[in-house]
Amino acid sequence: MTTVRREVFGQMPPEEGGGEVEKFVLQSDSVRVEILSFGCIITTLETKDKAGQFSDVVLGFDTLEGYTRKHPFFGAVVGRVANRIANGRFTLDGKEYQLFLNNGPNSLHGGAKGFDKVLWSPQVLPNGVRFFRLSPNGEEGYPGDLKVWVTYTLSGGELAINYQAQTSKTTPISLTNHSYFNLAGQGSQDVYDHEISIEADSYLPVDDTKIPTGEVAAVQGTGFDLRKPVELGKHLQKFHLDGFDHNFCLHQGQDRRLVARVFHPPTGRTMEVHTTQPGIQFYTGNNLDGSLKGKGAATYPKHSAFCLETQNWPDAVNKPHFPNVLLHPGEEYNHTTWLVFSTA
């Protein structure tokens, strides 16, 4: 049985248009998750360890103010297009579109005011919550009125996130949730003792601005071969890696499949990622620097969390040989990601 509770979390500042931000608490016997109507943000995700103790395993803030200020997309749904678009530019039907540049020379996670920085309309479901918004034609430079629904449902140890969208004009779209996890509990200093595996035979090498070069490279014989579990800290050392911020190319298909697994031996916590998406961005919190005050006055240093963002491949709108990222009028965008928590 999942219970769903709603409560007021805060008020948007007047300069942001005001408006009440609600928090939705989804609770099963093994997982408790809190989600805001602002940015569809997962603020809390508590799960049991092997002793039956609950801990919050996602980074975030105690108050709305933390989320309305600049932060690295903690827990948020990002869009219209997750990840980077080179030079913030693309061409559709002979017309060039220019987006806001918010990541060096590139556009990242939807631009200056993406889906993570707006209020969504909530609807309570028996075992979760659905959020809706209309992203108007021209918002952040993107074409078409885009209707978007993001649905979170909790069943036992499984949190499902479903994304649906319809558009009035052809537009690129790639939605994901940008939660930062530490299975030792948020506020723990690093994720080096986590064991991770990713079911991918290839990955996308990137240039120095983190844009894929266009090559689809085999993981075999490289530090990107995560097909068998590796202990993260030792693996980074062995391959002299500063961390990961790369797209791993998943087996294509519309069906649900297991794509990543993280195990934390000291607590026994396991997290599996299942998805219908063609890619997963593995990010090890390389840009965290301890400057943000998080929940319970925790600081978040470099490598104190990881993200596993299921999505389309970065810059796919400019790379025709990447999976299709365009949504046309009359079609429906529909993807689901399942996060499955258990203890070993």
> Rounded to an integer, what distance in angstroms lies between the CA atom of residue 71 and that of residue 74?
7
Break the chain down into helix, strand, coil percent, rounded to 5. Answer: 10, 45, 50
Exposure string (b/e) for 205-232, b if CB count within 10 Å is 16 or more?
Answer: ebeeebbbeeebeebeeeebbbeeebbb
Q: Which residues contact 10 (CB under 8 A, 6 or more apart)?
A: 20, 21, 63, 64, 65
Q: Which amino acid is at 79?
A: G
The answer on whether 67 is annotated among ligand-binding residues is no
Kind of pairing between the strands at 158-167 and 121-125: unpaired
309 is catalytic: yes
The answer on whether 245 is annotated among ligand-binding residues is yes
> Rounded to an integer, what distance in angstroms lies between the CA atom of residue 209 and that of residue 300?
23
158 is catalytic: no
The answer on whether 287 is annotated among ligand-binding residues is no
The catalytically annotated residue of 22, 34, 140, 309 is 309
The catalytically annotated residue of 109, 178, 194, 235 is 178
Task: Kindly tell me the number of DSSP H helices and DSSP E strands found in the chain.
Answer: 2, 27
Q: 3-state class of 296 per DSSP?
A: helix
Which two structure tokens, joined as six digits, stand for 153? 């449902």
> Rounded to an integer, what distance in angstroms lies between the CA atom of residue 180 and that of residue 190?
12
Question: Which residue in 37, 7, 262, 4 sits closest to 153, CA to CA?
Answer: 4
Work out the burial of residue 253: count CB atoms within 10 Å of its CB; fewer than 13 is exposed, 13-18 middle, 19 or more buried.
exposed
Exposure string (b/e) for 264-293, b if CB count within 10 Å is 16 or more?
Answer: beebebbbbbbbbbbbbbbbbbeebeeebe
Is residue 310 within 8 Å of residue 337, measured between CB atoms? yes
Q: Annotated binding residues for beta-D-galactose, as ranges?
A: 83-84, 178-180, 245
Which amino acids are annotated catalytic? 178, 309
Q: Annotated binding residues, as ranges?
A: 83-84, 178-180, 245
